[in-house]
Amino acid sequence: GAGVSQTPSNKVTEKGKYVELRCDPISGHTALYWYRQSLGQGPEFLIYFQGTGAADDSGLPNDRFFAVRPEGSVSTLKIQRTERGDSAVYLCASTLRPGGNPNTEAFFGQGTRLTVV
């Protein structure tokens, strides 16, 4: 596709349920990032993939959160036993080449708005 695609655009789920959020990055982009924006705050880093491997998952808030990128393109963010505090906009971004060029631009999807009721 032309840009980063995220699905679904909106997700409402009940507390305690499991959800999956999908990100389809720009073709050829090796680096993929997940961010979360809670109300009134800027986006916060969750996890970074270089290819298939999670190179930095230091932003994942706890072990209910997990992300995969099995073939080095599409990524899925998985949240188990959702809580009301997980409600946020989850953003995905990809870049062509993350290191070595400071002018590298990140391209974002439109986000998934998750509401836990």
Partner 1 sequence: ILNVEQSPQSLHVQEGDSTNFTCSFPSSNFYALHWYRWETAKSPEALFVMTLNGDEKKKGRISATLNTKEGYSYLYIKGSQPEDSATYLCAFLGFHAGGTSYGKLTFGQGTILTVHP
Side by side, the strands of the sheet bearing 75-79 are 5-7, 19-24, 75-79, 65-68
CB-based contacts of 44-50 (< 8 A; 24+ apart in sequence): 46/77, 46/90, 47/77, 48/98, 49/75, 50/98
- Taking CB under 8 A as the criterion, the residue among 14, 63, 71, 105 binding partner 1 is 105
Cβ distance to partner 1 smaller for residue 62 or 80: 62
Decide: is 111 part of the binding site for partner 1 (CB under 8 A). Answer: yes
Please list every residue from 44 through 103 that binds partner 1, using CB under 8 A: 44-45, 48, 50, 55-56, 91, 93, 95, 98-100, 102-103
Q: Which helix (H) or strand (E) holds 116?
A: strand 112-116
- Which residues bind to partner 1, rule: CB under 8 A? 3-4, 9, 31, 33, 35, 40-45, 48, 50, 55-56, 91, 93, 95, 98-100, 102-111
